Structure formats: C-alpha cells, structure tokens
A = this chain, B = another copy of it.
Amino acid sequence: MTEILATHVREAHERIRGHVHRTPVLTSTRINELSGAEVFFKCENFQKTGAFKARGAANAVLSLSEAEAARGVATHSSGNHAAALSWAARLRGIRSTVVMPRTASRVKIASVERYGGTIIYCEPNHRAREEAADKVVRETGATLIHPFNDRRVIAGQGTAALELLEDVPGLDAVVCPVGGGGLLAGTAVIARAASPSTRVLAGEPEGAADASASLASGVRHPVETPASVADGLLAYVGDLTFPVIQAQVERIATVSDAEILEAVRLLFGVLKIVVEPSGAVGYAAVAGGGLGVAGKRVGVILSGGNVDLERVLGL
C-alpha cells in the first residue's frame, strides 16, 4: 500500500488552489469565553459546493490522465461528495455520473443537477448503491472516485488543514469531524509534517461512533445501524483512512445529537454562520470538554454548510 504523505497534500494544494476558495478563519471572543479555549474556525462551509468535499473531488479529477478524464468519473453518494464531484467534473469539462438512493433529499439532487451531473437512482441500501456504481464503471470506463477511501481524495481534504496551519501558526490542536475519515486522515498527514507539536483530534456522533471505537480497540469495526442528526458522518471508517488515523490521531471524542444541535445554534447566533450538523461536530467536541483542550489554541474545521436549518433546528 502506498503511504499518503504530506507531499501529496502539498501537491494537491498546488493543483486545486486556483479552483477552490481559501476559506477564511473566524474567531469570536464570546465563543472563547463559552468554550474555555482559544478557537480558530476554518470555514469550509463557505467552500465551493458548500463543503470541504470540493477539495478532494477537485484533486482527484484534476489528477486524472487525459485518457481517464475522457471516460468521465462516477461515484455513489447521497451527500456533499456527490455535488462536489459533479462540480469538479464540470471544472475539467468531463462527464460525471452519481448513483443516489431514490430517497435522497431534493436539495442534494438539485445541487448535482446544477453542476451538470447525471444521476442514476437506486434502492436505498449499500449493496444497490455499489452495484449500480460498478455497472456505470463497467459500461462507460468511468473512474470511480470514492467519497473518502481514495488517496487523491484524502490528499485533497488535507489542504484545508494546510491552509489553517499556515494562517494560524502555533496551534496546540486541530479538530475535525470524522465519518469515513477522509478529512481526518488528510488533516493528520499534513499536521504531523507541517506542525509536529499540533495534536490531531476529532469529534464523532455517538450514534455513529465506529471510528472512536475502532481507535480504542485497535481493530476497525462498524456500527450496526448508524444514526445521527449529523447525516454526513454515518459512513464506516475506511481501510485506507483508518491506518492513518490509528497512527496519527490522538483522540476522538463522541458527542450527542443534542450537543451537535447546540453547536449549530451557537455558531449561527454568535459566529453568524450557517453550519450543517455534520460540520459542527468538531466544535461540539471542543465544547463538550472531552478533548482536553481547555486554555489551548485550537483550530476547528467547520466542514460544511448545506442544511435546511428550519428542518434541523425545528424553528
């Protein structure tokens, strides 16, 4: 297995920097008072397509050879990666096909359509998704771009932390959410190299806590029926991402749905930004106290902002 190196993250950054936003870092005195840490928010909710997923998708698509690119790309996703891949494919002027469960939200479907992606609907289960995606790959020769278990995607996701560590030197810790582990693995790889004294930490929903359980036991194992308001973090940590996490991530704290929604409300009311529940899990973990970062300088990646707040907050 080829190792994922910091140099891959730096190369990814050179490749995608003209196409993605260098998102701002926001701070708030009041949030520092409330959380007991000095927090620097890397706002990937402002990223192209509304989430950090644009980074990994752009790196993967721009890494393809001309011959590969000519055959297009495909993926299966009901979330932010679907829109990000369609966006990245349009950037390069190539075809993208996204397999989505027929139950996917209208907002997500509209987003893929806006970027010109072709949608293939399937039954809402894992097997139907994979079979449909395999069929697309077999019939069209498209390259499958997995949402997280892909070296090019992992390297691309690491560019968010690369920018954060450049913009805020001397962070004691960097914190992000973990689902399949692409963002966390990319973050860990670049942080270890660029800022060795910075601890790499994560937050994970209680109802989908496979990564923290796997980290604790040393063996990767799934949660039977993951469920959380953080619907972007239900994936099972990957066989490419887990070894990186195991080697380089110090701690993963779990947070309840109530804590996640409280974080969304606070970021909305105090920081004046829209963050989706999955995107707020890193901050929820800091606020929850389980990461041991009191009094520290902490970079928190807010990973996405694609949400109907009226639905989530019950407003």
Contacts and interface: CB of A to CB of B under 8 A. Distances in A.
Interface of A: 21, 24, 26-27, 29, 45-46, 48, 50, 268-269, 271-275, 305, 309-310, 313, 315
Nearest to A47: B272
A271 B315 contact: no
Given A274-B273, A309-B315, A26 B24 contact: yes
Contacts of A21: 27
Copies of the chain in the assembly: 2
A269 B24 CA distance: 18
A265 to B, nearest CB: 11
Contacts of A48: 29
A17 to B, nearest CB: 15
A107 to B, nearest CB: 9
Given A24-B24, A24-B26, A26-B24, A45 B272 contact: yes
A46 B315 contact: no
A315 B310 contact: yes
Contacts of A273: 46, 272-274
Given A46-B273, A269-B274, A272-B305, 11 more contacts: A21-B27, A24-B24, A29-B48, A46-B271, A46-B272, A50-B272, A272-B274, A272-B275, A273-B273, A274-B274, A315-B315
Contacts of A27: 21
A50, A272, A310, A313: residue with the most chain B Cβ atoms closer than 10 Å: A272
Contact of A268 (B24, B46, B274, B313): B274
A76 to B, nearest CB: 25
Nearest to A44: B272
A275 B274 CA distance: 11
Contacts of A271: 46
Contacts of A24: 24, 26
Contacts of A315: 309-310, 315
A267 to B, nearest CB: 9
Question: Closest 7 CB pairs between A and B?
Answer: A24-B24, A272-B305, A310-B315, A272-B274, A315-B315, A45-B272, A273-B273
A268 B305 CA distance: 10
A67 to B, nearest CB: 29
26 contacts: A21-B27, A24-B24, A24-B26, A26-B46, A29-B48, A45-B272, A46-B271, A46-B272, A46-B273, A50-B272, A268-B274, A268-B309, A269-B274, A272-B273, A272-B274, A272-B275, A272-B305, A273-B273, A273-B274, A274-B274, A309-B309, A309-B315, A310-B310, A310-B313, A310-B315, A315-B315
A192 to B, nearest CB: 28
A305 B21 CA distance: 22
A24 B273 CA distance: 13
A273 B46 CA distance: 9
